[in-house]
Amino acid sequence: MSKIKVSTPLVELDGDEMTRIIWEKIKEELILPYLDIDLKYFDLHVSNRDKTDDGVTIDAALAIKEFGVGVKCATITPDAERVKEYSLKKAWASPNATIRSILDGTVIRKPIMISNIPPAVKSWKSPITIARHAYGDIYKAKEMEISEPGLVELVYTSSETDAEVRIPVHEFEGPGVVMGMHNTSSSIKSFAKSCISYALAEKIDLWFCAKDTISKVYHAKFRQEFEALANQREADFKSAGISFKYFLIDDAVAQLMKSEGGMLLALMNYDGDVMSDMVASGFGSLGLMTSVLVSPDGKYEYEAAHGTVKRHYYKHLKGEETSTNSIASIFAWTGALAKRGELDENKELVEFAAKLERAVVKTVESGFMTGDLASITSAAKPVKLQTTEFIMKVKESL
């Protein structure tokens, strides 16, 4: 066959460890033989981030801003142990956090469903997609331990008039703890905007959940921003045939367990952190969870939700066989290619991405899978394949 021409460059961000090995193989076997594509390559290997003083991460984010769509391999977020392991100058920031702040994006995670990998919840028939607001709240909170009786207050000082507002938090009669947290209207608005764009593009209902009965200012602010933006786009919701619903978070959780799935669940930072891990394991394996960073102005970065699968990589380095699931990484490529195709109105490219996804699903459905899936599948006699064998089996289906 002749290669499909892709007219706009795609930004590629390479990564670390086991996923870097998978990445190379996917590109070599499943992408480059079929596409005539200009990949703007950025090597986010932790040593190269170190060498460039993390400049390569910033350049990659700017390239996504310029070209609109990127695809990213999992990367190490260095901690003290990694600094030693790779002799790094310092523990550089998480690349995902850096890219997210440059694109002002929201992370949306969606599980891949395969008929012989049954979800833990019987009623779930369609993927439950989760958008987590990844700014503020307890993740940027200031905390204090109180050891003696005393008054804790919230104090706001206007930088324009120096006027002060004070609210008592608690009059401590003995030891305790206290926390101050914040969010900004602009971040909440961007989050709501990204969620609404995604729900409209995917034509799935949008549920926003919080606890505004208890938090009548903080949580209520989120609800107000979502409702205001959703009201403005009412006509778009109607023509997409979808709805916006507000739920109390505890009600949403109860509804979710009885639902068929198929919605975008927009959640505040902590709820999103917790619920995304629950939903991921509910749908089977981390190897089946995809992730996309969506910016409010319509830039997209696709990746697998899992990390670099360090444990498997160390086995690989010792020359042992590994059975690492490449599905979420393959779907990062197909997600990015389909979006590129959609933006460029390149039908052939959109079709190629869909075919590659079907080839993956068909491979698993015919009983060939990696170890993580073999242990949970409903298939009678699953064949457990090694990392590369699985990719080659997908190529055969394709």
Contacts with ligand NAP by CB under 6 A lie at: 74-77, 96, 286-287, 303, 306-311, 324-325, 372
Residues facing 171 on adjacent strands: 151
273 binds, among Mg ion, ligand NAP, none (CB under 5 to 8 A by kind): Mg ion
Nearer to ligand NAP, 58 or 240 (CB): 58
277 binds, among ligand NAP, Mg ion, none (CB under 5 to 8 A by kind): Mg ion
183 binds, among ligand NAP, Mg ion, none (CB under 5 to 8 A by kind): none
Q: CA-to-CA distance for 346 and 66, rounded, in angstroms?
A: 19
- Going by C-alpha positions, the residue among 133, 142, 140, 293 that lies closest to residue 210 is 133
3-state secondary structure of 107: strand
Residue spans of alpha helices (H) in the chain: 17-26, 46-51, 55-67, 80-85, 95-103, 185-202, 218-232, 234-240, 249-258, 269-282, 310-317, 327-344, 347-365, 371-374, 387-397
372 binds, among Mg ion, ligand NAP, none (CB under 5 to 8 A by kind): ligand NAP
Question: What is the nearest approach in angstroms of ligand NAP to the Cβ of residue 40?
Answer: 19
311 binds, among Mg ion, ligand NAP, none (CB under 5 to 8 A by kind): ligand NAP
Please tell me whether residue 344 binds Mg ion under the rule CB under 5 A: no
- State both tokens at 234: 């009412």
Nearer to ligand NAP, 204 or 280 (CB): 280
Residues facing 10 on adjacent strands: 39
Question: What is the nearest approach in angstroms of Mg ion to the Cβ of residue 267?
Answer: 12
Residue nearest ligand NAP, Cβ-based: 307
Q: CA-to-CA distance for 104 and 191, rounded, in angstroms?
A: 9
Nearer to ligand NAP, 310 or 355 (CB): 310
Nearer to Mg ion, 276 or 377 (CB): 276
Residue nearest Mg ion, Cβ-based: 273
Q: Which of 273, 297, 342, 365 touches Mg ion (CB under 5 A)? A: 273
Nearer to ligand NAP, 48 or 255 (CB): 48
Tokens 């991921």 -> residue: 280
Nearer to Mg ion, 273 or 342 (CB): 273
Question: What is the nearest approach in angstroms of ligand NAP to the Cβ of residue 47?
Answer: 14
- State both tokens at 11: 């930004």
Backbone phi, then psi, for 82, in 5-degree steps?
-70, -35
Please tell me whether residue 277 binds Mg ion under the rule CB under 5 A: yes
Residues facing 176 on adjacent strands: 146
287 binds, among Mg ion, ligand NAP, none (CB under 5 to 8 A by kind): ligand NAP
50 binds, among Mg ion, ligand NAP, none (CB under 5 to 8 A by kind): none
176 binds, among ligand NAP, Mg ion, none (CB under 5 to 8 A by kind): none
Question: What is the nearest approach in angstroms of Mg ion to the Cβ of residue 103?
Answer: 21
Nearer to ligand NAP, 22 or 265 (CB): 22
Q: CA-to-CA distance for 167 and 202, rounded, in angstroms?
A: 44
Q: CA-to-CA distance for 94 and 76, rounded, in angstroms?
A: 8
Question: What is the nearest approach in angstroms of ligand NAP to the Cβ of residue 305?
Answer: 7
Burial of 217 (0-12, 13-18, 19+ CB in 10 A): exposed
Backbone phi, then psi, for 296, in 5-degree steps?
-60, -25
Nearer to ligand NAP, 357 or 372 (CB): 372
377 binds, among ligand NAP, Mg ion, none (CB under 5 to 8 A by kind): none
Nearer to Mg ion, 273 or 297 (CB): 273
Nearer to Mg ion, 277 or 297 (CB): 277
Burial of 301 (0-12, 13-18, 19+ CB in 10 A): buried
- Residue 356: HSE in the Cβ half-sphere, 13 Å Cα cutoff: 30
Question: What is the nearest approach in angstroms of Mg ion to the Cβ of residue 276?
Answer: 6
Q: CA-to-CA distance for 264 and 205, rounded, in angstroms?
A: 6
Q: CA-to-CA distance for 393 and 398, rounded, in angstroms?
A: 9
Question: What is the nearest approach in angstroms of ligand NAP to the Cβ of residue 235?
Answer: 36
Q: What is the DSSP string of 41-64?
A: EEE--HHHHHHTTTHHHHHHHHHH
- State both tokens at 134: 């990844």
- State both tokens at 324: 């690492």
Which chain residues interact with Mg ion by CB under 5 A? 273, 277
